[in-house]
Amino acid sequence: MAWQIRKSKETFIYFGKGGILILLKKWRSHNMYDVIIIGSGPAGLSAAIYAGRAKFDTLIIEEKPMSGGQIVNTSEVDNYPGLPGVGGFELAQKMREHAQKSGVTFVKEQVVSVEDKQEKKLVTTNQNKYEAKAVIIASGASYRKLGVPGEERLTGMGVSYCATCDGAFFRNRTVAVAGGGDVALEDALFLARGCEKVYLIHRRDSFRGAKVLAEQVQTNEKIEILYDTVVEEICGEGMVEKIKILNKKTQEEKMLPVNGIFVAVGMVPNTVKVIPHLALDDTGYIKAGEDGRSSVPGIYAVGDVRTKQLRQVVTAVADGANAIASMESDGMIS
């Protein structure tokens, strides 16, 4: 019996007697790339686009169900040049499509470790092992939790970390937002469009978010601001029914009846589980400058996961481009 064997990147293709065609998926235990990008938010996708333009053999490892990072949870992105008011999901999809056209490869796997082997980096996932000449960490950040009783138990049952994702479930109802930064202010304004009432709970006596957002919140009749106040407990049987709050100045405690609470108290960088041997700052962000260079040659950090003053879509996109430029300057890819 004569067999003709053709080998592709993903499969072995066997043409057998009588035109029988058998496809067997190739077991990919070890693959070599020029660049591996961990994460597919704006920074990672931007890096992928520039890597593709440089003709680097590039792999993006994404853990989340969809690309885009935090912007997929944003109803409108109003500060991306040329696209005022574009939907976050729409922008993320356009970025992914652009990256795909650049010829990069996407896989949905969870990164377990990144090891520095001097001239090459070994990336281990829950399914495979990959090698690369350089690695870009674009793993972003996760929602910080309040850490109060009832939060874990009622997550998904009235406790949410994404107003644009879950706000529609609370139309004509009463909700609370915990936080005082840009995200908290944006969440309160977004929820006020459909909710009967929104309590904005902030532990300080003034907002740290953008002034224009603070002014909009302060003049919105549906939003009641509770300054110098913290959430102590989230209560309810099966669903959120009320929250226990404390005014730090007066020490007055009271129960506030709400149907849901949206937590917007910042982010935690996704670094520890990925590469614990990199130099981090006191809050866990990877130490890297505008050029993306980390403390380990050949490993770059971009987007929300690195130390930076401003975490926005436009700065994340710039990070991705800068990292590829640094990589070329460093002579990592030959």
Cite the active site residues.
162, 165-166
Report the number of secondary-structure helices (H) and strands (E) in the chain: 6, 20
Q: Bin 294: left if φ > 0, else alpha if -120 < ψ < 50, else beta.
A: beta
First-to-last alpha carbon distance for the chain, in angstroms, is 44
- Which are the contacts of 45, defined by CB distance < 8 A and separation ≥ 6? 60, 67, 68, 92, 95, 96, 98, 99, 320
Q: What are the structure tokens assigned to 205, written together?
A: 């006596």
With contact defined as beta carbons under 8 Å apart, do 129 and 30 qualify?
yes
AA identity, residue 219: T
Say how far apart CA 305 and CA 288 lie, in whole Å. 9
Say how far apart CA 208 and CA 120 lie, in whole Å. 43
Angle between helix 42-53 and helix 313-329 axes, rounded to 10 deg: 40
Centroid of chain to Cα 158: 22
Per the document, the length of the chain is 334
Q: Beta-carbon neighbour count of residue 206 at 10 Å?
A: 10
Q: What are the structure tokens assigned to 56, written together?
A: 């680097």
With contact defined as beta carbons under 8 Å apart, do 224 and 245 qualify?
no
With contact defined as beta carbons under 8 Å apart, do 134 and 298 qualify?
yes
